[in-house]
Amino acid sequence: MNALTEADKTMLPLALRKSKGFHLACKWYLRDWEPLWYQYNFHQAPQLNTVFLAGIAAGKTTSVAASYLLDCLSTPYFRALNTSVTAKQAELPFEMVMSWIEGNDRLEHLVEDISLRPYPTIKFKNYSEWVFRTAGKDARFIRGMEFDRLNYDEAGLDYTGETLKVLRGRLRGTRPDGTTRLGRLDVTTSPTDAPWLRERFERGIEGEPRADLKNYYALRVTTFDNTRLTQEQIQLMEDEYSDDMIDVEMRALFPDFGMSLFPKSHLAACTDQSINDAMEMALRPEDGKPLRGYRTEVHPRYGITLFELPYEPGHIYIIAGDPGTDSPPKRNTGVTMAADITTQPMRIVAFNWCDGRGSYAPFLQSFKYLMSKYRPVLKGIDTTGTQKAIDELAFENYGMHVDGINFNGNKDAMLNCLINDVTEHNWKIPVIRGLQRQMSSYSRENDKKTAQDIVMVMAQLSYLARFAPEAGDENPADYTGANFRRRKIRSNRGRRR
């Protein structure tokens, strides 16, 4: 390791928890950035299990980035991991740390190497290492590794918590210099209704029946706690959510989805992390040659907004859409989706939460693109109310023929189809935060009060699947809009195995 500067010899020891000078080391190394009270407490926590429940823009990612970076800088041979259910989410702290490192003469000389393939990794001159990669189903991508400390970001999207058990097993061993690894497991997430998450959080809360304050530390931080946000910024965030979602997304309170039409255990059974893993392996293969036909985009606040798997010749596809002009996560945001219904369970292969910005054009362009890519046998668009002219607009301006669906007459039937498919586990759905949130919270009572566009598209797909041809049926090209409206629902569609 290159010789430390005189400033390093003073500042690096302050970053150690026993010195309680984390804030001073941050100010020196991180371009005069200083932690807020909860960011300081997160770093200093002596417990080896922490749960950080955070509202949007509460500074969760910054907390992780600063705390882990200072651990790596101050402790030789320290090994750290930031992981999540998606690669983009796992890499958010990496992007923040890079903004601190590049061009920073107080920090650059302590970094040995930075690599991006097959996943971002930062190596330090003191032989410490920080890895950023997705965990995969049941932590399949993390097995065989050992770490001092790891953060499971947006862990609440993992309903069963099985991945967490495997990750705990990665925190063990000794460093090459003979010292024992730290063994700290951080869970940082926005609140969800995952049972294990609430149980783990309550272990770190004084006065709770299951509290274990020796081993668990719990921290709830709201959007309003971040004093670096202006009142105008906070107000703009509040405008995006209903009152119930403000409690979850901004006040970091656990949701109460007890009245949802879709039982959470069945929704969890339909959610398939391996679909996300296939995306990860296709876009980030070890040979550095991404496969064609895969695309994904992840918003740092709302999660996945675009997800596409390749078209497979000979498979039967349907697509559906709910027009909208707004932007995620607001109500009236356009949604398009495609499903492969060749076999059961059916599989979601494309999802686009369109950024409308006041126009129907992004929705229509997305819908036309899915038609071209997947060659669906049926293609439904909600044409209820103010959207009733969308099918005509699509045909006239975009050269598309679509199957208009009027929710006024068919909504209950469509929702019943979706309820059946969820409870019968007839869907395989990738981990998509917006989809999970809307389906987890949906009830007929709150239909007019909260965003439910994704639910409506899922309902259309379940409904359309009962009209679509089976493999070996007559030419799928014969299934025009007129044929669609005449055909009877297939009673065996939901039972085909």
pLDDT tens per residue, range 27-59: 999 999 999 999 999 999 999 999 999 999 999
Domain boundary among 220, 249, 278: 249
Pairing of strands 317-322, 335-340: antiparallel
**Domain span holding position 111:** 6-249
117, pLDDT greater than 80 = yes
Tell whether 148 is covered by a domain. Answer: yes
Q: What radius of gyration do the chain's Cα atoms show?
A: 24
266, pLDDT greater than 50 = yes
476 plus 403 within the same structural domain: yes
Pairing of strands 378-382, 317-322: parallel
245: left (phi over 0), alpha (psi -120 to 50) or beta: alpha
Tell whether 257 is covered by a domain. Answer: no
Can you say whether the dihedral through the CA atoms of 466, 261, 362, 295 is positive or negative?
Answer: negative
159 plus 113 within the same structural domain: yes
Give the mean pLDDT of 161-179. Answer: 93
Pairing of strands 216-221, 121-124: unpaired
162 plus 278 within the same structural domain: no
User: Residue 201: pLDDT band by 50, 70, 90 thresholds?
Assistant: very high
309 plus 210 within the same structural domain: no
371, pLDDT greater than 80 = yes
222 plus 363 within the same structural domain: no
Domain boundary among 216, 249, 282: 249
User: Residue 479: pLDDT band by 50, 70, 90 thresholds?
Assistant: very low
Domain boundary among 199, 219, 249: 249
471, pLDDT greater than 60 = no
pLDDT of residue 446: 65
Phi, psi of 286 (to 5 degrees): -65, -25
Distance of alpha carbon 395 from the chain centroid: 34
Q: Using an 8 Å Cβ cutoff, are 270 and 160 in contact?
A: no
238 plus 304 within the same structural domain: no
496, pLDDT greater than 60 = no
For the segment 437-446, what is each residue's pLDDT rounded down to a tens digit?
A: 899 888 776 6
Tell whether 1 is covered by a domain. Answer: no
322 plus 232 within the same structural domain: no
Tell whether 334 is covered by a domain. Answer: yes
The CA distances from residue 496 to 126, 224, 344, 470, in Å, are 58, 50, 6, 10
DSSP letter for 180, please: B
383, pLDDT greater than 70 = no
Strand spans (E) along 309-430: 317-322, 335-340, 346-353, 378-382, 403-405, 427-428
Considering only the C-alpha atoms of the chain, give the largest distance between any 2 of them, rounded to a whole number of Å.
81
CA separation for the pair 432, 157 (Å, rounded): 8
Residue that the structure tokens 């099918």 belong to: 391
Q: Using an 8 Å Cβ cutoff, are 241 and 252 in contact?
A: no
User: Residue 385: pLDDT band by 50, 70, 90 thresholds?
Assistant: low
Tell whether 220 is covered by a domain. Answer: yes
Number of domains in the chain: 2
Residue that the structure tokens 């039937």 belong to: 413
32: left (phi over 0), alpha (psi -120 to 50) or beta: left
184 plus 280 within the same structural domain: no
Tell whether 409 is covered by a domain. Answer: yes
DSSP letter for 141, please: T
CA separation for the pair 387, 405 (Å, rounded): 11
486, pLDDT greater than 50 = no
Question: Mapping DSSP to helix (H, G, I), strand (E, B) and coil, where does residue 174 land?
Answer: strand
112: left (phi over 0), alpha (psi -120 to 50) or beta: alpha
User: Residue 485: pLDDT band by 50, 70, 90 thresholds?
Assistant: very low
CA separation for the pair 71, 111 (Å, rounded): 13
311 plus 239 within the same structural domain: no
CATH of the domain at 292: 3.30.420.240
Can you say whether the dihedral through the CA atoms of 96, 102, 103, 108 is positive or negative?
Answer: positive
Give the mean pLDDT of 55-71. Answer: 96
Tell whether 256 is covered by a domain. Answer: no
187 plus 331 within the same structural domain: no
213 plus 341 within the same structural domain: no
pLDDT of residue 406: 57
357 plus 433 within the same structural domain: yes
Counting DSSP H helices and E strands in the chain, the numbers are 17, 16
Give the mean pLDDT of 169-190. Answer: 96
Q: Identity (one letter) of the amino acid at 227?
A: T
CATH of the domain at 51: 3.40.50.300
Tell whether 259 is covered by a domain. Answer: no
Whole-prediction pTM = 0.79
